[in-house]
A and B are shown apart, each in its own frame.
Chain A
Amino acid sequence: MHIVYPAVLSALLFSVGVYGVLARRNAILVLMAVELMLNAVNLNLVAFDVWWRDRLHGGQVLTLFTIVIAAAEIGLGLAIVLLVYRNRSTVDVDELTTLRENTADDTAEPAAEPAETVEAGR
């Protein structure tokens, strides 16, 4: 077995995930791209664990922990996305700009509007 095939595959999958995180607008699609990146890292861990014949199976056990943490992350992430949807009726990451640093043009934008939408969502 050549180690370069799984390593290149995981590098390419990671780049696909990077593209998805940066290019997608829907928050759920961004979460899917994050999962792709985590899976690319998992493939690397498994490949090098098998490659070095680790006696403690550190790579594969770490892969199991990554899967557990990814499951926890996706559960919490979706809960946050649903909360944002309930408060703002949108999950477009482009429109969630309340915490954005004000540019020179819109420093006059009042801060009262977001607080009001949070109140309305309760």
Chain B
Amino acid sequence: MTGQDVVLVLLGAVALGGGVLCVTTRQIVHAALWLVVAFGGLAGSYLVLTAEFVAWVQVLVYVGAVVVLLLFGIMLTRAPIGPGDGLDSENRWVALVVAVATAALLVTTVILGFGYDRKDVHAGGGSADALGSSLFRTWVLPFEVASVLLLAALVGAIVLSRTDIGPKDGD
């Protein structure tokens, strides 16, 4: 186990702990805050995997934008602030069984498939320079399609959330 592995396992434990607390906590605002911990741990894992540009995009978009959006959603739906039992549905034991089965299947497959394969990883593969030139040379068409998709999602969200526009009475 190299130092890189140790750091990755520690950051993974942080991310996994944040994720577990996010899906089990009884306070809805705490769930959003534990989600920040999980995303932060994942961003650290990206840094250890030498994908620094993806790590900072993760921090900017997920921790900066998505969590704030989720907190706004919590406030706008007047969710119960404070501890409450109403956040879990009755079928949570079934959900636990399904999740444990998924975990067992995936972990067994991954361990059987990759076992103790190891390689040395060198820095530089995930810099903004390398990723940018690859994005704007090879992947420029999907990039433009993604921008159109974002525009469509923006227009859709505005149409859905405005109350003064909508179908006429006759529809």
Contact = CB atoms under 8 A, between A and B. Distances in A.
Interface of A: 1-9, 11-20, 22-26, 28-29, 31-33, 35-36, 39, 42-43, 46-47, 49-51, 53, 56-58, 60-61, 63-65, 67-76, 78-83, 85-86, 91-94, 122
A92 B90 CA distance: 12
B42 A23 contact: no
Nearest to B137: A56
Contact of A81 (B73, B118, B156): B73
A14 B95 CA distance: 13
Interface string B93-114: 0111011101100110011001
Give me the 3 closest cross-chain CB pairs, A-B, nearest first: A22-B95, A20-B23, A72-B153
B108 to A, nearest CB: 9
Interface residues of B, number: 90
Contact of B146 (A32, A36, A69, A94): A69
A51 B8 CA distance: 14
Interface of B: 1-2, 4-5, 8-9, 12, 15-16, 19-20, 22-23, 28, 31-32, 35, 38-39, 42, 45-46, 49-51, 53-54, 57-58, 61-62, 65-66, 69-70, 72-74, 76-79, 86-92, 94-96, 98-100, 102-103, 106-107, 110-111, 114-121, 125-126, 130-131, 134-135, 138-139, 142-143, 146, 149-150, 153-154, 156-157, 160-161, 163, 166
B28 A29 contact: yes
A3 B114 contact: yes
Contacts of B134: 56-57, 61
A46 B160 contact: no
A76 B151 CA distance: 12
Contact of A18 (B99, B116, B157): B99
B87 A8 contact: no
A60 B76 contact: no
Given A19-B23, A25-B86, A78 B61 contact: no
Given A13-B16, A67-B62, A1 B120 contact: yes
Contacts of A49: 51, 125
A66 to B, nearest CB: 10
Contact of B15 (A13, A22, A24, A57): A13
